[in-house]
Amino acid sequence: MKTQVAGFETRREGNILLLARGALREFMAGRPASDLLGEGKEAVEGRRMHTILELPDGTRAVVRHYLHGGLLRKVTGDRFARSERFFDEIRASEHLRACGVNTPEVLGLLVQVGKLGFCRGALATRMVEDGHDLLEYLRSKEGVAEIASPASKKTLIRSVARQVRKMHDAGVSHADLHIKNLLLAPDGRVFILDLDRAKLQKTVSPSKRLANLIRLGRSIEKTRVDSLISGRDTYVFFLEYLRAGEPLEIDPHEVVRKYQRHVARHRLFWKMGIR
């Protein structure tokens, strides 16, 4: 497995491999590499544990500890059989940034190999200061006010659609594209977060594109902000996505119909509190 990534300095300490660059490399100079797993202020959200680091250049980094989700987490916690997924995330992120997709800059990666070859990992990215994930933003007073303006709402929908389309056109399908993995910066830019298990490929097929779009739409309904997003808004989103690049063999009407059928199948479970 390739552990070298262009632009990153590599450091080994026993069973730990550290890749770092820029201000994070300066921050880690003279510190044990294992500090990246325990330094800074911690915050736990969903299945992700984050650590915030104050870097020497005055910026901050977010360190995301890799954790399993669902029932598997109770068994394996933060231990993985393979470390390739950690490096795949860096490469996907670097590729997307080179293609003009907004995703936080990766500053470093720590991989620790333990007993029986199981791995732990932590990824450090540059924090987008004063940014809010899209769910948090839509629930804020500022977000509600913006959504109330048809022009502002359309601008936001277009920004999200264009970033998702650019990601797909760059050859990346997101493994977990949902409303909390989209971040809105103060300047209006939309960032795509959490590229763990993202697939870098030559082209993203229409079926995979559709699966990503449906998952994103479903997350909006699941989080109960769909009262702010109408069926027409959903159609506008799909239309903006299709308009944002070269023509695709995708009928926006068929996309909406498939989305509506998919969501209808899940609504019963959501009403029962199963989300």
Q: Tell me which of 98, 126, 154 is where a domain ends.
A: 126
Residue 275 pLDDT greater than 60, yes or no: no
Q: Give CA–CA dist 216/207, Å, rounded.
A: 14
Q: Is residue 43 in a domain? A: yes
Query: Burial of 90 by CB count in 10 Å (0-12 exposed, 13-18 middle, 19+ buried)?
Result: buried
For residue 24, the domain's CATH number is 3.30.200
Residue 4 pLDDT greater than 90, yes or no: no
Residue 47 pLDDT greater than 50, yes or no: no
Residue type, 205: S
pTM for the whole thing?
A: 0.89
Q: Are residues 80 and 156 in the same domain?
A: no
Q: Tell me which of 126, 148, 175 is where a domain ends.
A: 126
From residue 197, alpha-carbon distances to 91, 115, 237 in Å are: 11, 23, 25
Q: Tell me which of 83, 108, 126 is where a domain ends.
A: 126
> 18: domain range?
9-126
Q: Are residues 105 and 120 in the same domain?
A: yes
Q: Are residues 143 and 96 in the same domain?
A: no
Q: Are residues 101 and 143 in the same domain?
A: no
Residue 268 pLDDT greater than 70, yes or no: no
The pLDDT, as a whole number, for residue 62 is 94
pLDDT-derived band at 70, boundaries 50, 70, 90: low
The pLDDT, as a whole number, for residue 269 is 63
**Angle at CA 54, nearest 5°, toward 50 and 60?**
70
Q: How many domains does the chain have?
A: 2
For residue 164, the domain's CATH number is 1.10.510.10
Q: Which residues are catalytic?
A: 176
pLDDT tens digits, residue range 15-37? 999 999 999 999 999 899 988 87
What average pLDDT does this structure show over 178-193? 95
Q: Are residues 98 and 156 in the same domain?
A: no
Q: Are residues 238 and 218 in the same domain?
A: yes
Residue 153 pLDDT greater than 70, yes or no: yes
Q: Is residue 117 in a domain? A: yes
Phi, psi of 9 (to 5 degrees): -85, 135
pLDDT tens digits, residue range 250-261? 887 787 788 788
Q: Are residues 248 and 122 in the same domain?
A: no
Q: Are residues 93 and 137 in the same domain?
A: no
8 A C-beta contact, residue 19 and residue 91: no
